[in-house]
Structure formats: structure tokens, C-alpha cells
Amino acid sequence: MSIAELTSLIHDARNIVAFTGAGVSTESGIPDFRSPGGVWTRYDPRDFTFDRYLESAEVRQNSWKMREDFLAHMPQPNRTHHALALLESRGKLNGVITQNIDDLHQDAGSRNVIEIHGNVRDVTCIGTAPRNGVPAGCGFIERHEWVFEQISAGNLDPICPTCGGFVKTATISFGQAMPSGPMLEASQLVEECDLLLAIGSSLEVFPAAQLPLDAKAAGAVVVIINRDPTDMDPFVDLVLNGEAGEILSRAVH
């Protein structure tokens, strides 16, 4: 399978949707959570479940430290981000559905981005007593600088200034319910596309990983671009293994 085939598919498509995972961000210098140097080599993921976050001030404080580490040297968009933004500007790409939490698609110029796992740059109220992994906040939301200003001022466990509830980075933790709104938007995009590009994802995390299969079932051509093979490779139309930025920058011109 060749990049020429991908170029032809992109040229012929009228409604492309991209589904992106951690492999896109790693090309900007962000290690995925499980790789050497990734977040889970320095923090224990068992401490960052939604319930543990609610129960323990220490867990919340460590969570803010982890986010500060993540945001300390925010990288720039790479060739994949720019290629997708270019396709959107040409009217070929209808949207990006991303598992990533880093805002790099938006930084590159993509406008229709659905963040199904949230965004690390935002902080939101999750309420005083959420149940069953479902946030129950008052609607308060701020950029991440707000919470770091609170911590710098000596408030190591900030609370919502509106209702007194817990505040948390607006990302999806282990044990936290997936937000219904973004998943519904993502499903609608997938059902309408004629070409889905699954880029930089191991396609192992559900329900997000179901989206390429849903696109295939709805009649779309599905392409996987990933450094390593995935379990879904046999079920799609084209698989290209390698660095996503190299492949897309050659296919989109």
C-alpha cells in the first residue's frame, strides 16, 4: 500500500474526518502516557482515578503537579496538525476527532475539533459530590493559569469560587464518564464522512476506538496511519505504517 493511494483517496473524497491519537502528539515531543519518559513512568495511574481525586487532597495536589509538568514546555504543532488544518482550509476535511488533550490541532489552525477526552488547558468545576463518575459542576470554567495562580498564592487545593465544588482539569480521568455531547458530535461526523483517517492511534481505547469501525459500517473508506500495526488493520481499506507527519505531508500537497 502506498502514499500515492492515500493521495488519490484524499483527492477523490468530499467529506473527510480525521481521528487522531497520541502518536500525533509524540511527533511534537509529547511522550505518550505509557512510553519511556511518559507521565505514568513518574506518577502512579492508580492514584488518578476520578473517585481517588474526590477522596484525597494529596491526589488532587499531585494531579496539579502532573499538569504543571505537562504544560511546562508546551510544544508546537507538527506536520500532521498542519496537514489536517490545510485540508480543512481547502474544504476537504469536515472535522478532527481527537483523543489528545493538548490543543495542538487548534494551534495549527483547525477550527472544528472534537476533544473526546477533554482539554488539559482548561479547569472546570465538577461539583461537591459527583456520583458514578459523572461531574456535577456549576459550569465554572477557567484556563489552567487560574489554578496555578491559586497554588502560587498558597492555596494548594483550590475549589470553585462560584459554588465551592471541586475543580479539576477538563480531561477524562480513569473511572470518569465520557461526556455525551462530544461523543454524539463525533458519531454524527463519522456517519456523514466518506473517508476517515485514523492517525496515530493504537485503536485500543473504547468507546473512542469504535468510531473508525462505525465509519466503515456507514460506508466510508477507512485508512489507518500509525507507527505500529493495530488490531483493526484487517478491517480497513488502507494501512500505512510509519511517522504520520511524513506520510501526510507527502500525501497532502
pLDDT in tens, 166-211: 999 999 988 998 888 999 999 999 999 999 999 999 999 888 899 9
Sketch out the chain's domains with CATH numbers: 1-30+76-117+178-253 (3.40.50.1220), 34-74+120-171 (3.30.1600.10)
Helix (DSSP H) and strand (DSSP E) numbers for the chain: 10, 9
| Alpha helices per DSSP H over the chain | 3-12, 22-26, 50-55, 57-71, 79-89, 104-108, 144-152, 180-192, 210-217, 244-251
Q: Integer distance in angstroms from the first to the last C-alpha of the chain?
A: 19
Is the model's pTM score more than 0.85?
yes
The whole-number pLDDT of residue 88 equals 97
Please check whether residue 158 is in contact with residue 145, taking contact to mean a CB–CB distance below 8 angstroms: no
| Grid cell of 189 as nine digits | 461526523
Phi, psi of 162 (to 5 degrees): -90, -45
SS3 246: helix
The whole-number pLDDT of residue 217 equals 96
Residues labelled catalytic = 117
The whole-number pLDDT of residue 31 equals 64
The whole-number pLDDT of residue 66 equals 82
The whole-number pLDDT of residue 69 equals 77
For 240-251, write each residue's pLDDT tens digit: 999 999 999 999
The whole-number pLDDT of residue 45 equals 60
The whole-number pLDDT of residue 92 equals 97
Please check whether residue 243 is in contact with residue 80, taking contact to mean a CB–CB distance below 8 angstroms: no
The whole-number pLDDT of residue 46 equals 64
Residues of the chain short of pLDDT 70, as ranges, are 1, 31-47
Residue 195 burial class via C-beta count within 10 angstroms: exposed 0-12, middle 13-18, buried 19 and up: buried
